[in-house]
Amino acid sequence: MLKLMKYEFRKQAFSKLIIAVTLAAMLVLYAVMLIRGNADSAGITIGFIGMAMFIAVIFVAFECLSTYSKDLKTKQSYMLFMLPKSPRSILLSKILASAVQVIAILAVFTVVMFICTAAFVARFDDIVAFINDLLDILFNAKLSDIINIRIVLRGIILTFTLWLFLVTLALFVTTLANTVMNGSKFMTLVSVIAYFVFSIIIDKIESAIAYCLLGDTVGGGLYLLVCTVFYFIVDIALFFATSWLIDKRLSV
């Protein structure tokens, strides 16, 4: 699994280089703004870094799909499907590699933005007061006064489950299209249409189930729970369906 993931990282290395170079350029610009004492521009640059983080996460989250599509369309597919590895482990390595990269991007950008904010405060405000306030929050305030852990956890789990749904649905639809329409010039178009059709159908099913269980209630903890469990089950089903297609039907 780890070896498969290693080569997934390697296949997607170029985009990380682009992200790194872009971030480096923004940091250089930020450093210049700080040195020149231009607080407004420095603040705007931090905002741009935040936007870049958002774009990078979206891109990386779905890059596994473009890599998989390329795996299926080119002869480089032989390098993957000749291996004595089960379709499940191949798929799982792709999903895990994507998840690890998303987390890494989030972590790196978060640290960078924290450092940039601290530098901003040090340059244009009272850094000692900032540190004292931070220490006060960390050691004296209860965490529950600042954030509701349960809501945050629910949000993270639901976000992850929904992201997983988008990825596993795309992997399924891509595999299905390649299985049924291998070599057809309409394959990509049909994949995209099928993706939206399946998304809508699954969403309708989820709404129907939520209505059966909870009535007209929309939102709230219980609704989120139903939503999370439903999409988690769909994720598992799509994963195994894709594995089956690769094992029994897909030709490269």
- Which residues have C-beta within 8 Å of that of residue 95, sequence separation ≥ 6? 64, 164, 167, 168, 171, 239
Which residues, 6+ apart, have CB-to-CB distance to 124 below 8 Å?
37, 39, 42
Query: Greatest CA separation found in the chain?
Result: 65
Spatial distance between the Cα atoms of 30 and 9, rounded to a whole number of angstroms: 29
Stretch that binds other proteins, among 2-10, 136-144, 169-177, 220-228 (CB under 8 A): 2-10
Q: Measured from the CB of residue 104, what is the shortest distance to other proteins in angstroms?
A: 20
The verdict on 248 binding other proteins (CB under 8 A) reads yes
Residue from 132, 184, 207, 217 that binds other proteins (CB under 8 A)? 184
- Closest separation between CB of residue 243 and other proteins, Å? 13
Closest CA to 31 of 115, 128, 131: 115
- Shortest approach of other proteins to residue 231 CB, angstroms? 30
Binding mask 78-117 for other proteins (x = CB under 8 A): xx-xxxxxx-------------------------------
- Asked if 18 is part of the footprint of other proteins (rule: CB under 8 A), the reply reads no
Q: How far is the CB of 187 from other proteins (least distance, A)?
A: 10
230 Cβ neighbours under 8 A, 6+ residues apart: 205, 206, 209, 210
Q: Does residue 185 bind other proteins (CB under 8 A)?
A: no
For other proteins, the binding residue among 5, 8, 11, 163 (CB under 8 A) is 11
Q: Which residues contact 16 (CB under 8 A, 6 or more apart)?
A: 60, 101
7 near other proteins, rule: CB under 8 A: yes
Cα–Cα distance measured from residue 174 to residue 229, given in angstroms and rounded to the nearest whole number: 24
Structure tokens at 72: 């299926």
Q: How far apart are the first and last CA of the chain?
A: 21
- Cβ proximity to other proteins, 6 vs 204, nearer residue: 6
Among 100, 181, 224, 227, indicate the residue that binds other proteins (CB under 8 A).
Answer: 181
Q: Looking at 7-15, 48-56, 157-165, 216-224, which segment touches other proteins (CB under 8 A)?
A: 7-15
Question: Does residue 127 touch other proteins according to CB under 8 A?
Answer: no
| Residue numbers at the binding site for other proteins (CB under 8 A) | 3, 7, 10-11, 13, 75-79, 81-86, 181-184, 247-252
